[in-house]
Amino acid sequence: MAHDIEQFTDGSAAFASARVSAWHGLGTVTEGAMTAEEAMRIASLADWNVRKLPLTATELTAEGATSLEVPQHFATARTHPKTRRTETLGVVGSDYHPVQNEQHAEFLNLLADESGAHFETAGSLKNGRQVFLTMRLPQSLTIGGNDQVDLYIAAINSHDGGSAFRTVVTPVRVVCANTARAAINNARSSFVVRHTAGAKARIAQARSALGLTVRYAEEFEKAAQRMIQAEMTLSELKSVVDELWPVQDNDSPRAKTNQRQRWGQISHLFEHADTQAGIRGTRWAGYNALTEYANHVAPARGKTEADKMHTRAERVISGAATPLMERAFALTTV
């Protein structure tokens, strides 16, 4: 499972995390929450001066080398945070305008001042081609009186022209490339800024677009509470499972066997799993049984049990089951 965190020849890595070490064990873990300036400094994100350079092509002939300009195309480059040498990152068009890491952090600082959030992680991926900064919102969602879900604001930017500047509200704490993808996949609210001349102005507008009252979080919490208060029978859950994983009469015996095994595992989770304690027999329990099956129980590829565990872990981090879970939530909510 590649993390893509940028690593330097001095043994350090471009990653900072508040209080908690990431699974990859790289970077610096701070004792407390970070300011924007500390996150930038510790994660080696400061003073990159991302810029566009004219792009040329060199042709070697018998007469020597000929340099040719590539019109309407430029190389993006940065000043390397350790060597201070110029380093190219990608190829972009004439309308591309870099969003500096400092602008990235300044935007989140505005959100921190307004929401009370604090900086959690910061890092550089793919040798500077992508960077991220995240903050944790001060209040968790509380579902059913004891099930807490933290929400994060993650701002993810690319310097190689590969993607826009994107800010999301997500339940995923971004610590690497895989969790950056998962944050986007599981985003509860998002705002995208293209790398154009008006990018800086649009970043300033993103505060209102994100709606840091986190309306989604409030609505999700309300929906979950309604689901906890609504009973769900085994036959109702079976109807949801049949819609999520339909099997026809003319399907193969193997497909029908898989269907029976799947239902046996989901119904067991619904009726007996410790994770359902306190919510058993409700629609919220039904949704959680489906989630637990899809992420942790469903068959995984691998020759050994360790391989299968790795596949399941990657399934969770990559958000592979997200589309299924969105359908499951729609079918179980009230």
Q: How confident is the model at residue 13 (pLDDT cuts 50, 70, 90)?
A: very high
**With 50 as the cut, is the pLDDT of residue 114 above it?**
yes
pLDDT, tens digit, 9 for 90 and up, residues 137-179? 777 766 666 666 777 888 889 999 988 888 877 766 666 655 5
Q: How confident is the model at residue 1 (pLDDT cuts 50, 70, 90)?
A: very low
Q: How confident is the model at residue 314 (pLDDT cuts 50, 70, 90)?
A: very low
Contact assessment for residue 157 and residue 131, using Cβ atoms and an 8 Å cutoff: yes
Question: What pLDDT is stored for residue 320 in this prediction?
Answer: 47
Contact assessment for residue 197 and residue 147, using Cβ atoms and an 8 Å cutoff: no
Please report, in angstroms and rounded to a whole number, the separation of the first and last CA atoms in the chain: 37
Choice among 93-107, 109-123, 301-315 with the minimum mean pLDDT: 301-315
Length reported for the chain: 334
| Pair of tokens at residue 117 | 């959030």
Question: What pLDDT is stored for residue 172 in this prediction?
Answer: 64
Mean confidence (pLDDT) of the chain: 80
Residue 198 makes CB contacts below 8 A (sequence gap 6+) with none
pLDDT, tens digit, 9 for 90 and up, residues 16-66? 998 877 767 788 888 888 888 899 999 999 999 999 999 999 888 888 888
CA angle 158, 183, 143 (to 5 degrees): 155
Helix intervals (H) in 130-176:
none
pTM: 0.65
Q: Residue 152 is inside which H or E element, if any? A: strand 152-158
pLDDT, tens digit, 9 for 90 and up, residues 181-221? 555 665 556 667 777 777 777 666 666 656 644 565 667 67
CA angle 77, 64, 94 (to 5 degrees): 30
Provide the CA 112 distance to its chain's centre, in angstroms.
19
Q: Residue 75 is inside which H or E element, if any? A: strand 64-79
Q: What percent of the chain has pLDDT over 90?
A: 32
